[in-house]
Structure 1
Amino acid sequence: MTKTRPVIGIIGNAALIGGDYPAHAAGTMNTSAIAEVSGAMPLLIPTDPNYVSVDELLEVCDGFLLTGGRPNVHPEEYGESATEAHGDFDRCRDKVTLPLVRACVERGQPIFGICRGFQEVNVAMGGTLWPEIRELPGRMNHRMPPEGTIDEKFAIRHAVHFAEGGVFERLVGARDVMTNTLHGQGIKAPGERVVIDGTADDGTPEAIYVADAPGFALAVQWHPEYNAARDPVSRPLFEAFGLAARAWNEGRRAAALARAG
């Protein structure tokens, strides 16, 4: 077989081009992080169950990047009623990503969640979310600055503290790091097997993994795709994700050769 890069499915978001042309979109920050740092081929996934199925995605891709997005996971997915504070929703994405996370965790297929993707991992595993963490006593405003350049919006803004000896400390090589922050919601109760492995100064969960998952199942609340090739926190995360996807790809190919032989 020809040696190829592993394929990472990048979860897309519904978008409007020019205000009226429906599209599926993902930021080029995500594709460049996957191609340049993870060493994988990025493949944009239209997250609508009318176009794709979880079973098909699992066969086509070696891993999945659960990207950020403006719409939030609908609170009905974790047993609560929607309020104005919950913001906008994308029920089509919910229908694809939540079962996809559970399937990947069960199979050991690599997943890496970012921002909304971080929240999807928690909800998929049975956890809940706060609709607006800046309204909680003692919490800071983690939202993206409303004005400024892209560089200013994605600038480093707060510390994240990893658990001693935990998964993230081992990957990044440090217990205390600095990250950007561009989110409004946050984890209320962690899902089953979801381990909070990093928090901000105000106690907001920022890094999680799924305990006893047979494969790479990590997520962060910040946006490591920004400046991923040069950021000392982002780069090792995307490198480890790429290695996990390559291992899955090679295992799949070895199994195919064994069946053919």
Structure 2
Amino acid sequence: MTRPVVGIIGNRGLVNDRYPVHEGGQMNSCAVSHVAGCIPLLIPADPEFLSIEELMEVCDGFLLTGGRPNVHPEEYGEIETDKHGTFDRARDAITLPLVRACVERGQPFFGICRGFQEVNVAMGGTLHPEIRELPGRMNHRMPPEGTLEEAFALRHKVILQPGGRFAALFGAEEVVTNTLHGQGIATPGERIVIEGRAEDGTPEAIYVKDAPGFTLSVQWHPEWNAEDDPVSRPLFHAFGDAVRQWAAAKAV
């Protein structure tokens, strides 16, 4: 039996600072294939090449990955500044309406880092451009130097809502995660439920209230070491189960 397909929303980049590519981290594909048990399909997130309707027919679920470009502040009613960093407006044009369409249809998606922020913005929320500048907040950004192992090392606790979806999934009300982001949720979007926060209060785990499908999203990077990490593995297992359920229902 063919495995269901997860569309991995990638980013635009340059090879050798000159050749344009659509790209996605190999660890995302590894987590989708080896842990979620689905076929990973890298999506060129650009409305020039595909439509939301086509994507939703081809794919059974979606992984909204992290990436260096940020959601453009115009998408949540603010003016661009230097603090907002770089952007990928083509990805914005795909992911934001895709999230809303999936919420309405019940098609599963899993948001990671930028994807977590996209889910909040898609539902009407706003973002802080630099959370490390807020009083009492820690620096959640990737360390500027070191190996990948050091960059993705576990760095802070996430405190989960007792009895919530994430606590049930992990079998714990507190977990330890990596952290590699500069922006964060300022105002939660409509129907966004924050179930996990870092020790400094930064939102880290959310879902969309009353959505008929899987909408769990996290601010950290569970794709790193997903096969062995006790926090990452259940997230991708649950996502894979939701995608299989969607695919089976579609086949009837």
| TM-score class, shorter | over 0.9
Aligned equivalents of 1:21, 1:252: Cα separation in 2? 39
RMSD of equivalent CA atoms: 0.4
Which one of the candidate residues 44, 50, 55 is aligned to 2:42?
44
Aligned to 2:201: 203
Aligned to 2:215: 217
Aligned equivalents of 2:50, 2:220: Cα separation in 1? 28
Aligned equivalents of 2:170, 2:16: Cα separation in 1? 40
If the length of structure 2 is used for normalisation, what is the TM-score?
0.99
Aligned to 1:127: 125
Which one of the candidate residues 14, 30, 33 is aligned to 2:31?
33
- SS of 2:230's equivalent in the other structure is coil
Aligned equivalents of 1:38, 1:18: Cα separation in 2? 33
Deviations 1:12-63 (A, max 9, x none): 1001111111000000000000000000000000001100110000000000
**Alignment gaps of 5+ in structure 2:** none
Aligned to 1:9: 7
The correspondence of residues 40-189 of structure 1 with structure 2, limited to 5 A, is 40-189=38-187
Superposition deviation, residue 64 in structure 1? 0.2
**Alignment gaps of 5+ in structure 1:** 255-261
- SS of 2:45's equivalent in the other structure is coil
Give the counterpart letter for 1:235 in structure 2.
R
Give the counterpart letter for 1:207 in structure 2.
A
Aligned to 1:258: none
Give the counterpart letter for 1:231 in structure 2.
D
Superposition deviation, residue 172 in structure 1? 1.1
- SS of 2:186's equivalent in the other structure is strand
Superposition deviation, residue 103 in structure 1? 0.3
Aligned equivalents of 1:9, 1:173: Cα separation in 2? 28
Aligned equivalents of 2:200, 2:10: Cα separation in 1? 31
User: What is the count of residue pairs matched by the alignment?
Assistant: 252
Superposition deviation, residue 188 in structure 1? 0.2
Which one of the candidate residues 226, 229, 250 is aligned to 1:228?
226
Aligned equivalents of 1:6, 1:167: Cα separation in 2? 24
Q: Could you tell me the percent identity over the aligned residues?
A: 70
Aligned equivalents of 2:149, 2:185: Cα separation in 1? 26
Aligned equivalents of 2:44, 2:190: Cα separation in 1? 28
Aligned equivalents of 2:16, 2:77: Cα separation in 1? 36
Give the counterpart letter for 2:237 in structure 1.
E
Aligned equivalents of 1:9, 1:250: Cα separation in 2? 17
Give the counterpart letter for 2:36 in structure 1.
S
